[in-house]
Structure 1
Amino acid sequence: MRESLRQKAIEICDKKIAQKGDNVGVSFYAFFKNKNDAPDALMEAARWWIETHQLDHFEKAVKIKGLIEKGL
């Protein structure tokens, strides 16, 4: 996953955790605006989420942040 997307995902996870606690769930769609203005990045995130890690649609933000920080 490209570095800019990694940083964005970590920021979103941090924000969600701060707002709603450690049990908050996220989807990779949370890393993007409601319009498809970055289709390459969206597909990259989808591949990382679905193909590489076989994650459910919603996962705990803490888990996603941990995976990203470990470079997985």
Structure 2
Amino acid sequence: MNTAIRKKIIEVCESKISSKGENVGLSFYAFFKNKNDNPELLMEVAKWWIMENRLNHFEKAVKIKEMVKFK
């Protein structure tokens, strides 16, 4: 995934954790608007979520944040 979407994922995770607590779960749809304005990026994130990491539909935001953190 590119740097911009990684940054967006981290921001969304931090926002959800801040507002709902450490146990909040989310799906990869949380990183996109409710319209399909960038299907290529949506599919890239979906592939990473589903095919590469075999994540459940909902996962803890803290887990996702750690997985995409910049190394």
Cα distance in 2 between the residues matched to 1:31 and 1:48: 13
Tell me the residue number matched to 1:7: 7
Cα distance in 1 between the residues matched to 2:16 and 2:38: 22
Per the alignment, do residues 7 and 70 of structure 1 end up closer, same or farther by CA in structure 2, a change over 3 Å counting? closer
Tell me the residue number matched to 2:56: 56
Tell me the residue number matched to 1:30: 30
Residue 57 (structure 1) shift: 0.1
Residue 70 (structure 1) shift: 5.6
Structure 1 residues not aligned, in runs of 5+: none
- Identity in percent: 59
Structure 1 residues 5-63: Cα deviation after superposition (integer angstroms, max 9, x where no partner): 10000000000000000000010000000000011110010000000100000000000
Tell me the residue number matched to 2:44: 44
Structure 2 residues not aligned, in runs of 5+: none
Normalising by the residue count of structure 2, what TM-score does the alignment of the two structures yield? 0.96
Normalising by the residue count of structure 1, what TM-score does the alignment of the two structures yield? 0.95
Number of residue pairs matched by the alignment: 71
Root mean square deviation, CA, Å: 1.0
Q: List structure 1 segments (4+ residues) > 4 angstroms apart after TM superposition.
A: none
